[in-house]
């Protein structure tokens, strides 16, 4: 009896170290920084989640850029993980779906990404109604916000390298030439139900301006960038 209990204990121990998950993988790679600068996949565990950087590899998964994936993977604990690496091991169970993506927000070539990364010097988010005004400006040096239409009063803080890398990485995933074509998902601003919002991205040679959208509900192609800008502005005391 004790031998049987021991066997089941071992089985339970090993099974508890493994987990099967369904994950989504984006159709493009982005710049990220682990031990050194590298290219990362973007992943999420629910279709409604925001994308997150995936710094590891998935054993048995042959990634092809330009295709979005839904995968079933097995996640297990490494017995002796490297000092500068992950303690988890990922392996492919099966590819549930593989679909070619043509999204405006993701249809960016590698060469375009390099150009955008090198050229971007600042981003601006503005939201206003007849009674209120809010603007955030971020560059590689400073994060600044104001509620003063005359720009006489503002608050600011230093923009860290990590924060600026987050901004430029998200910009890399957007086709800047097409953001003026993005359709707002709602129209509350048209009857004062929401503030009119707009995103501007400035490069060395040009400013890319989005069409107007409701504050709090941006087009999905720029949603993560807008949310990151707002999150950074909230960190200013």
| More confident call, 160 vs 65 | 160
Distance CA 112, CA 224 (A): 19
111 has a pLDDT exceeding 50: no
Distance CA 41, CA 173 (A): 12
Residue pLDDT, tens place only, 145-192:
999 988 889 999 999 999 999 999 899 888 888 899 899 999 998 888
**pTM, rounded to two decimals:** 0.55
Q: Torsion angle of alpha carbons 74, 71, 90, 228, nearest 10°? A: -120
123 has a pLDDT exceeding 90: yes
Bridge partners of 25, per DSSP, are 43, 69
What does pLDDT average to over the chain?
Answer: 83
Distance CA 210, CA 36 (A): 33
Residue 12 — very low, low, confident or very high, per pLDDT cuts 50/70/90?
very low
Per-position b or e across 124-137, b if 16+ CB within 10 A of its CB: bbbbbeeeebbbbb
Residue pLDDT, tens place only, 26-37:
888 877 766 667
């Amino acid at each position: 009896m004790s031998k049987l209990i021991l066997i089941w204990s071992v089985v339970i121990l090993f099974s508890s170290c493994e987990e099967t998950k369904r994950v989504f993988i984006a159709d493009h790679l982005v710049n990220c920084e682990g031990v050194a600068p590298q290219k990362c996949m973007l992943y999420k565990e629910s279709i409604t989640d925001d994308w997150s950087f995936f710094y590891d590899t998935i054993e048995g998964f042959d990634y092809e850029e330009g295709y979005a994936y839904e995968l079933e993977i097995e996640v297990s604990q490494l017995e002796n993980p490297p000092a500068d690496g992950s303690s988890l091991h990922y392996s492919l169970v099966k590819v549930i779906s593989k679909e070619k993506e043509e999204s405006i927000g993701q249809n960016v070539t590698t060469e375009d990404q390099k150009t955008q990364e090198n050229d971007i010097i600042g981003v601006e988010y503005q939201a206003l109604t007849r009674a209120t005004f809010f603007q955030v400006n971020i560059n590689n040096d400073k994060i600044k916000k104001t509620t003063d239409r005359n720009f006489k009063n503002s608050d600011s803080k230093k923009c860290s390298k990590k924060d600026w890398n987050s901004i430029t990485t998200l910009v890399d995933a957007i086709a800047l030439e097409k953001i003026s074509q993005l359709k707002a998902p709602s129209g509350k601003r048209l009857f004062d139900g929401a503030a009119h919002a707009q995103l501007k991205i400035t490069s060395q040679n040009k400013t890319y301006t989005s069409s107007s959208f409701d504050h709090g509900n941006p087009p999905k192609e720029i949603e993560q960038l807008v949310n990151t800008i707002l999150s950074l502005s909230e960190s200013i005391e």
